[in-house]
Amino acid sequence: MITGSISRSFQQDTAIIANGKQWAVLIAFLAILLLLPHLPLFSSAPVLGLINGIGVAIIAVTGLQILTGYCGQFSMGPSALVGVGAYTCAILTAKWGWGFMPALLASGFAAALVGFAFGIPSLRVKGFYLALSTIALQFIFVFLVEHGPHEVTGNIDGLQVPTARLPDWLGGMAIDSAEGKYYLILAFVLLGLFLATNLVRTNAGRAFIVVRDNELAAQAIGVNPFRYKLLAFFISSLYAGVAGALYTQLSLFIAPGDFTLTTSIWYVAMLITGGMGTISGVVFGSVLLNVLLFLGPRYGPQLTSVFPQLSDGAVYAGLNLLLALVIILFLVFQPHGVAHWWKSVSSRFSRRYLQ
């Protein structure tokens, strides 16, 4: 007798959801997600705020996964690109009165264009030049925000952002509750994850993977590495821009200090701990590290009462140190991240026999 998941056609084999069982699991999971704000543990405002933050991070890290996990290009500037999206959205909605949805689209493309501009010089040569030009992007972005015209960028004081409203043809309601924001962010998270999962199955996705694995071989089979690296960076920046626009809604206030090199490192760490090369890895990593970021400042100060000779800022530094240790442990012992653990555990519960 044959047990386990069997595909009876090529189409079924390559489908994302292959059979009835998987559909059932997916629908159940989506139902839980939709009902989440009404569940007892999750309905409090700080927890919903945390989940919203996780959602935004998932979108940004999905973009990073496409760039680094699938295409093998290392970027140190995801946070700057999120910042570009955030500031574009903020300026469009606060200063020029745009609606939120159009502003979100524009933010995505603004970030994508910036990515494109920084990608062109740095992706032509094989090597880690993208890492350095994204560091440059970080510094240049913060410089432009802090020293640009105060009217436009708010400089170091930051910008207030108006609450998003649904478009008029949907009722024009303001999305001002944590619950409302949850649904808004959830919609984009699901869309983003779905598109990313699909991307891997397309020709472009396969081209990304071959560029990652062996750039010379890619060239030999006619895949232009520069073109696909640039495309990956473009798509990744698009995701970051959308994440940035949603970020503005988290606390309705943005400042250049939200988008530093350290924040970028946190995004990269989410990718590493979650697992490179899988979409589930994105979710694992984002959840894990954002929870860490959330609990740290809450319970960290209790530590300084135990060690009074630690300086102020030691809590934040301690958090960074913990993050560094987490990264090191994952890089050395489990380069495929939490997603790999999940897969190994879950595969023990599935039985695959071939008669």
Question: Could you tell me which stretch among 32-40, 86-94, 164-172, 330-338 binds another protein (CB under 8 A)?
Answer: 330-338
Closest distance to another protein from the beta carbon of 347 (Å): 23
Which of 47, 140, 193, 255 binds another protein (CB under 8 A)? It is: 140
* Sequential DSSP letters for 154-166: -GGG-EE-PPPB-
Give the residues across from 159 on adjacent strands.
254
Nearer to another protein, 307 or 353 (CB): 307
Which of 310, 334, 342, 343 binds another protein (CB under 8 A)? It is: 310
Query: Reduced to 3 states, what is the DSSP secondary structure of residue 159?
Result: strand
Cα distances (Å, whole numbers) of residue 44 to 32, 36, 58, 328: 17, 11, 21, 34
294 part of the interface to another protein, by CB under 8 A: no
Interface positions, 238-257, toward another protein (CB under 8 A): none
Q: Indicate the Cα dihedral angle 125, 131, 134, 139, nearest 10°.
A: -120
Question: Could you tell me which stretch among 80-88, 157-165, 294-302, 311-319 binds another protein (CB under 8 A)?
Answer: 311-319
Q: Which helix (H) or strand (E) holds 81?
A: helix 78-90
Closest distance to another protein from the beta carbon of 264 (Å): 9
CA 124 distance to own-chain centroid: 25
Which residue from 235, 193, 292 is spatially nearest to 68, judged by alpha carbons?
235
Q: Characterize 265-276 residue by residue with b for buried, 16 or more Cβ atoms within 10 angstroms of its Cβ, and e for exposed.
A: bbbbbbbbbbbb
String of contacts with another protein for each residue 57-96, x by CB under 8 A: -----------x---x-x-x--------------------
331 part of the interface to another protein, by CB under 8 A: yes
* Sequential DSSP letters for 304-348: HHHSTTSPTTHHHHHHHHHHHHHHHHHHHH-TTHHHHHHHHHHHT
Interface positions, 8-67, toward another protein (CB under 8 A): none
Q: What is the total residue count of the chain?
A: 355
325 part of the interface to another protein, by CB under 8 A: yes
327 part of the interface to another protein, by CB under 8 A: yes
303 part of the interface to another protein, by CB under 8 A: no
Q: What is the DSSP letter of 43?
A: G
Which of 2, 221, 332, 354 binds another protein (CB under 8 A)? It is: 332
136 part of the interface to another protein, by CB under 8 A: yes
Interaction site with another protein (CB under 8 A) = 68, 72, 74, 76, 118, 120-122, 124-126, 128-129, 131-133, 135-136, 139-140, 143, 146-147, 216, 220, 262, 265, 268, 272, 310-314, 316-321, 323-325, 327-328, 331-332, 335
